[in-house]
């Protein structure tokens, strides 16, 4: 039997991490995510874990990658400037296929920007911030309850697919307080990484079976092997022959494509009579739902499309929406990062209408409804 608590978004992320079995958190305080590491610093010792205060964000992600290599579930929390510093090692984690979770509570950018103000400016960076083609899973809650639930989901996805996962947030969601139902621990689905490893004399860290996912036993517990951010073959040793380069890059990216149906999540409020769809994500989903409801009250048929998984982007689902409606209004707190992706995926099947707001004030129901009316 679960219990209900009043929680802040940042607190819900911390509690979700504990429920998922996190054992290491390394972090450096940064607004608006600091409460997450504050809660974890207090709560982890009594839950068999350890919090480590680091000198900066680059060191923080390095620690959690090391912890993951040792077989521990690990998380760090940050915001835009710190997330920027983490990009090189985020690419490294993707390349060596070690599961970590990074919580990014976005704030106004670029640069130092506005520490206490909301924005959604890190969408493209969450995928393309480091050089090269590297696989990322990025999920974005819109309620405090989802902050709890999706943190557990983030750990499960990371461990299942041996890949870094970014849990996106924003200042609105980070500091919002709502009722959260915490299930009994026996009712929480927990995924741990595979342990069906071959004997040491037969083991190669990247000798991949039919799943496409490596089995990496914890370093320090008997197995010795090489992990390298350089292009590598099955033995993990750097190998820059053309065939190995192509095979390595394609494999680490293809594993997420192969499991698209399991990874990608969306929320939809469908309306078979609608010729307009509103696309929103994160905290902006909340006024978007209110605007869709208000449109219905005024006799306007509108549907809602919310990408919960930002990367891999739900391209199949948005194409299906574009086949049915004439216009897709993309509402976001940046200058058009997701609208750019929508245009590229729907290939002109529907008109994309941008609604962008970057002044740091939340988007309102009436503002979205006004754009809906203009496009009827």
pLDDT at 361 over 80: yes
d(CA 285, CA 279): 8
Domains of the chain, by residue range, sit at 3-187, 200-261, 266-374
The distance from CA 48 to its chain's CA centroid, rounded to whole angstroms, is 25
Q: Where are the strands (E) in 60-176, listed by range? A: 74-78, 101-106, 137-139, 165-170
Q: Note the pLDDT tens digit of each residue in 68-127.
A: 999 999 999 999 999 999 999 999 999 999 999 999 999 999 999 999 999 999 999 999
Q: pTM of the full predicted structure?
A: 0.96
Q: Which fold has domain 266-374?
A: Rossmann fold (3.40.50)
Q: Note the pLDDT tens digit of each residue in 249-306.
A: 999 999 999 999 999 999 999 999 999 999 999 999 999 999 999 999 999 999 999 9
d(CA 253, CA 235): 19
CATH of 3-187, one of 3.40.50.970, 3.10.20.90, 3.40.366.10, 3.40.50.620: 3.40.50.970
pLDDT at 1 over 80: no
So what's the pLDDT on residue 2? 84
Indicate if 266-374 has the same CATH topology as 3-187. yes
């Amino acid at each position: 039997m679960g219990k209900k608590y009043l929680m802040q978004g940042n607190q819900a992320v911390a509690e979700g991490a504990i429920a998922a079995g996190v054992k290491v958190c390394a972090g450096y305080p940064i607004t608006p995510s600091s409460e997450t590491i504050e809660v974890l610093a207090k709560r982890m010792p009594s839950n068999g874990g350890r919090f480590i205060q680091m000198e900066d964000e680059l060191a923080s992600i390095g620690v959690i990658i090391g912890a993951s290599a040792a077989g521990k579930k690990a998380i760090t929390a940050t915001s835009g400037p710190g997330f920027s510093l983490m990009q090189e090692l985020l690419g490294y984690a993707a390349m060596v296929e070690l599961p970590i979770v990074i919580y990014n509570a976005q704030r106004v950018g670029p640069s130092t920007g506005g520490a206490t103000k909301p924005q959604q400016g890190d969408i493209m960076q969450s995928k393309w911030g480091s050089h090269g083609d590297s696989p990322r899973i990025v999920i974005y809650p819109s309620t405090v309850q989802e902050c709890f639930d999706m943190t557990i989901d983030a750990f499960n996805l990371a461990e299942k697919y041996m890949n870094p996962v970014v849990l996106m947030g924003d200042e609105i969601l980070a500091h919002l307080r709502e009722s959260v139902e915490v299930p009994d621990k026996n009712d929480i689905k927990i995924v741990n990484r595979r342990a069906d490893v071959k004997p040491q004399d037969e083991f190669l860290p990247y000798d991949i079976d039919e799943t496409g996912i490596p089995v990496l036993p914890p370093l320090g517990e008997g197995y010795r092997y090489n992990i390298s951010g350089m292009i590598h073959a099955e033995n993990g040793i750097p190998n820059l022959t053309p065939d190995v380069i192509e095979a390595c890059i394609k494999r680490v990216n293809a594993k997420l494509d192969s499991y698209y149906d399991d990874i990608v999540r969306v929320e939809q409020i469908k309306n078979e009579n609608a010729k307009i769809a509103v696309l929103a994500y994160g905290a902006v989903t909340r006024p978007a739902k209110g605007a869709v409801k208000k449109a219905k009250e005024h006799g306007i048929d509108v549907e809602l499309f919310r990408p919960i998984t930002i990367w891999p982007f739900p391209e199949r689902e948005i194409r299906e929406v574009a086949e049915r409606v004439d216009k897709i209004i993309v509402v976001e707190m940046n200058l058009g990062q997701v609208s750019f992706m929508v245009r590229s995926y729907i290939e002109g099947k529907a008109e994309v209408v941008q609604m962008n707001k970057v002044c740091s004030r939340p988007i309102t129901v009436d503002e979205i409804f006004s754009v809906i009316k203009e496009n009827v």
